[in-house]
Amino acid sequence: MPLDPSRTVAELKELRELTGDVNGAQRVAWTETWETARDWLRDKVAETGASEEIDEAGNQWFTLRGESDRALLIGGHIDSVPNGGWLDGCLNVMAGVEVLRRIASDGTPPLTVRLVNWADEEGARFGRSLFGSSAAAGSMDDQDELRARTDANGVALPDALREHGVDLDRALDARKQLEGAVAYLELHIEQGPVLESLGLPLGVVLGTFGVERHQITWKGQAAHAGSTPMDKRRDALAGAAKLALEIRPIAAEVGDGAVCTSGSVVCKPGIVTSVVETAEQLLDQRHLDAEQLARMLSLAQEASARFAGEEDIEVSWERIWSIEPILFHDGLIELAEEAITEVCGTSHRLPSGPLHDAAEVARAGVPTVMVFVQSLRGLSHTKLEDTKEEHLELSVRALDRLAAKTLVRYAKEAA
Amino acid sequence: MPLDPSRTVAELKELRELTGDVNGAQRVAWTETWETARDWLRDKVAETGASEEIDEAGNQWFTLRGESDRALLIGGHIDSVPNGGWLDGCLNVMAGVEVLRRIASDGTPPLTVRLVNWADEEGARFGRSLFGSSAAAGSMDDQDELRARTDANGVALPDALREHGVDLDRALDARKQLEGAVAYLELHIEQGPVLESLGLPLGVVLGTFGVERHQITWKGQAAHAGSTPMDKRRDALAGAAKLALEIRPIAAEVGDGAVCTSGSVVCKPGIVTSVVETAEQLLDQRHLDAEQLARMLSLAQEASARFAGEEDIEVSWERIWSIEPILFHDGLIELAEEAITEVCGTSHRLPSGPLHDAAEVARAGVPTVMVFVQSLRGLSHTKLEDTKEEHLELSVRALDRLAAKTLVRYAKEAA
């Protein structure tokens, strides 16, 4: 069966009809709608002859045996956020199905080819993203914490998983799935504006950003807005305001795609008649280079200390979360660039801001690369998420070529 | 009975015992505790021979007949906020009681002297401050709106007032109380840090600030903190941050005691992973000069438009509330300065940031002045509010001298 990218687009629409509503996609992991999507996927793959297996973390694997047991993996996630878009996650899965069809129709491949539909990438129900891929990668180290998690209705995570055949205590047994994997490929919508602004359909992803996420607390003195002269104030908001602006020259100085975001400032007492006593500020900093990320954090911390001094206020930092940058595989980046250039003439290298299952697989030591396809207006996690159909088709072609090139490369190495 | 300022301090402590608890003063207007305080006040004044009258707005008047019907008014408010301080409001009333005692013991005064305990200066229960004084001044123009107000327990304002003998529909009949008034004097704690920072016990108040209060809404574009390059962002927080800092040079440029406060910025969606789409900012600007206040507002508006342009975001302004500056009486300011200088050597002229009942009386055309006594750490509306006892005693002496001087001045004019 020759590759037919228009079929992928048609199948994505079919899935949207089956599992979405007027508000968007509703394939939240560990729900009936999600199971409906998984059943539908099983039917779609059946014709390729690939065998299905659900692993201990709920990941859905389809395996097409090759001449070697060593395996090329192609992965995505069919789960979505509530009221999600029609492409985030499932594009990768459905493009993978099409590639699997093409490979199967070409006869026994030199390597085993496996398509994986990761369980609960989004973490929409329990706030724990990358569930299935982190279990398979062996990096899931928060099982005690997960046991205590509940959804909005008070249902415990382990109980919800059990209804879908997953025993949290055994989830890490999914690690054996990555044994023998030689490469992992993932196609995803960009979820950002870069490719659209460059007028390019496709790009190759260098890795996922390292992230430093902090809450910064500024402490001044509440004082009456009418009776306190300007020079007698200790205004916590002034510190937060200065830092909200300073992170921009800091990102520019560090460069190489550095991004810094202050997503919230909460003022207390937060009333019109009082100078702000406490300002709680959120800061998110990302970079593809661990040293540059550390430098960016330290520049922001130095600036905050300077501002606290200028304003006679106090500042303290608390880390909310952090992750190291995860770099993709140089050889696969080159192959992806070739594949993209062949299907649309021009490629572009860019980092991924959001995390993806691919980052977990890469962390586990499997050579990994991702391909991004342009997102219209950079929107995702909303029903407004969209990508031009011609770009979707190009993305299926690029993934297919990348898979073909990877099979050739690793078959040689295996030989 | 000679003036005994130490008695005022003792009586303030007695009132605190009677109507406060571990959390502070609890004399919220239109409550039983407030009535307890008013009954207690009645007993304190009785010995002076002044006659009591409760007017249609609930104001409690004590009248000491003089040779003329023309009247010198001394006023304060015994109501407090919940968990309030021991001085805000009642210092004025109790100092007035002591002055009334002294005047009464000196024989029939040349003018009638009246002490008024204004009803509900704080507006703590229904959110409408200066209730009694605005009714007496004839400036209460929101009765329709007041009819619909309820407290935190859903009790309607007119019902609560009725329990204390006040018919909202007749409140404006209290206007006749200001007929024949030649002057109004009010002593209050400063509720700010100026006198303490100058090391002065007392100051004379030039008037109450005009206030311009706005909500400023900045609209940018929500965008993923990881996938949106810095130069593709439209960050609403950047506009709010710039303005929060810019109001300071604007206040400095306008000068003459100008104050500007940004008391809150609310960010939406307000999450660590998104550029801020909407920032709702509160701005409070105050000046004693109407033209300078208007200039300060217009400078802030111009700056906001400039920032919106720089950041490619939108900005809109909505007025929450405003009031004109209310200037006190030049002749009385001079008398107050003399009185203060006589009791403690040095006076200082300052504006009042907070509004006071005195502003309502002045708006009604009665020559008015206020005396401020130092507040420790500028604190008020908290049980931590405090003033040195020696300063409280000086403030009673200054009010007494001011009353004496005013009687002489206006008795001459009446003659």
Q: Which pLDDT score, from 0 to 100, does residue A222 have?
A: 87
Residue B272's pLDDT band, with cuts at 50, 70 and 90, is: confident
Q: How many CA atoms lie within 13 A of A230 on its CB side?
A: 24
State the Cα–Cα distance between residues A124 and B103, nearest whole angstrom. Answer: 76
Average pLDDT score, chain A: 95
Q: Which pLDDT score, from 0 to 100, does residue B127 have?
A: 85
User: Environment class of residue B142 by beta-carbon count within 10 Å: exposed (0-12), middle (13-18) or buried (19+)?
Assistant: exposed
- Dig out the tokens for B335 from the structure: 């008398």
Query: CA angle, corner A286, sides to B239 and A134, nearest 5?
Result: 130
Task: Verify whether the Cβ–Cβ distance B257 to A378 is below 8 Å.
Answer: no
Q: Which of B194, B211, B244 sits opposite A229 (nearest CB)?
A: B194
Q: Decide which of B323, B341, B375 is a domain's last residue.
A: B323
Q: Which pLDDT score, from 0 to 100, does residue A382 have?
A: 84
Residues of chain B neighbouring A226 (CB-CB closer than 8 A)? 192, 209, 211, 259, 284, 286, 352-355
State the Cα–Cα distance between residues A353 and B268, nearest whole angstrom. Answer: 20
- Dig out the tokens for A384 from the structure: 């407004």
Q: How far apart are the first and last CA of chain A?
A: 27
Q: Which residue has the higher pLDDT, B383 or B240?
A: B240
Q: Which pLDDT score, from 0 to 100, does residue B377 have?
A: 87
Q: Is B20's pLDDT higher than 70?
A: yes
Average pLDDT score, chain B: 95
Q: Is B80's pLDDT higher than 80?
A: yes
Q: Which pLDDT score, from 0 to 100, does residue A414 have?
A: 62
DSSP state of A50: P
- One domain, residues A126 and A248: no
State the Cα–Cα distance between residues B88 and B141, nearest whole angstrom. Answer: 26
The boundaries of the domain holding residue B319 are 210-323
Residue B266's pLDDT band, with cuts at 50, 70 and 90, is: very high
- Dig out the tokens for A396 from the structure: 């299926």
- One domain, residues A92 and A148: yes
- One domain, residues A341 and A386: yes
State the Cα–Cα distance between residues B163 and B323, nearest whole angstrom. Answer: 31
- One domain, residues B316 and B330: no
Query: CA angle, corner B272, sides to B267 and B273, nearest 5?
Result: 110
Q: Is B133's pLDDT higher than 80?
A: yes
Q: Which pLDDT score, from 0 to 100, does residue B415 have?
A: 60
- Rounded to an integer, the average pLDDT of A64-82 is 96
pLDDT in tens, A290-301: 999 999 999 999
- One domain, residues B280 and B228: yes
Q: Which pLDDT score, from 0 to 100, does residue B271 have?
A: 86
Residue B414's pLDDT band, with cuts at 50, 70 and 90, is: low
- One domain, residues A302 and A332: no
- One domain, residues B81 and B166: yes
> Does the ipTM exceed 0.95?
no
- One domain, residues A220 and A101: no
pLDDT above 90 as % of chain A: 88
Where is average pLDDT lowest: A305-319, B139-153, B329-343?
B139-153
Most B CBs within 10 A among A265, A286, A312, hence the mutation to make, goes to A265
Q: What share of chain B is helix, strand, coil (3-state, %, to 5)?
A: 40, 25, 30
Q: Is A285's pLDDT higher than 80?
A: yes
Q: Which of B363, B351, B370 is nearest to B326 (CA)?
A: B363
Q: Decide which of A323, A350, A369 is a domain's last residue.
A: A323
pLDDT above 70 as % of chain A: 100
Quickly list H helices, B148-279.
Answer: 157-162, 194-198, 236-254
| 3-state SS assignment for residue B255 | coil
Q: Is B412's pLDDT higher than 90?
A: no
- One domain, residues B331 and B302: no
Residue A367's pLDDT band, with cuts at 50, 70 and 90, is: very high
pLDDT above 70 as % of chain B: 100
User: Environment class of residue A216 by beta-carbon count within 10 Å: exposed (0-12), middle (13-18) or buried (19+)?
Assistant: buried
Q: Which pLDDT score, from 0 to 100, does residue B352 have?
A: 92
- One domain, residues A48 and A192: yes
Residues of chain B neighbouring A261 (CB-CB closer than 8 A)? 225, 272-275
pLDDT in tens, B25-36: 999 999 999 999
Residues of chain B neighbouring A273 (CB-CB closer than 8 A)? 261, 263, 284
Place of tokens 């659900």: A54
Cβ–Cβ under 8 Å, residues B111 and B338: no
pLDDT in tens, B102-112: 999 999 999 99
pLDDT in tens, A125-180: 998 889 999 999 999 998 999 999 999 899 999 999 999 999 999 999 999 999 99
- Rounded to an integer, the average pLDDT of A269-288 is 93
Phi, then psi, of A88 in degrees rounded to 5: -60, 110
pLDDT in tens, B207-245: 999 999 999 999 999 888 888 999 999 999 999 999 999
> Looking at the 3D structure of chain B, how many domains does it have?
2
- One domain, residues A344 and A196: yes
CATH number at residue B267: 3.30.70.360
Q: Which of A201, A140, A193 is nearest to A166 (CA)?
A: A140
CATH number at residue A341: 3.40.630.10
- One domain, residues B359 and B348: yes
Q: Decide which of A289, A323, A357 is a domain's last residue.
A: A323
Cβ–Cβ under 8 Å, residues A363 and A135: no
Residues of chain B neighbouring A312 (CB-CB closer than 8 A)? none
Q: Which pLDDT score, from 0 to 100, does residue B380 have?
A: 83
Cβ–Cβ under 8 Å, residues B285 and B295: no
Q: Which pLDDT score, from 0 to 100, does residue B265 have?
A: 97
Task: Verify whether the Cβ–Cβ distance B232 to A257 is below 8 Å.
Answer: no
- Dig out the tokens for B152 from the structure: 């935190």
Could you tell me which residues come within 8 angstroms of residue A35 by beta carbon, excluding any fewer than 6 positions away?
A: A164
User: Environment class of residue B309 by beta-carbon count within 10 Å: exposed (0-12), middle (13-18) or buried (19+)?
Assistant: exposed
Task: Verify whether the Cβ–Cβ distance A263 to B244 is below 8 Å.
Answer: no
Residue B353's pLDDT band, with cuts at 50, 70 and 90, is: confident
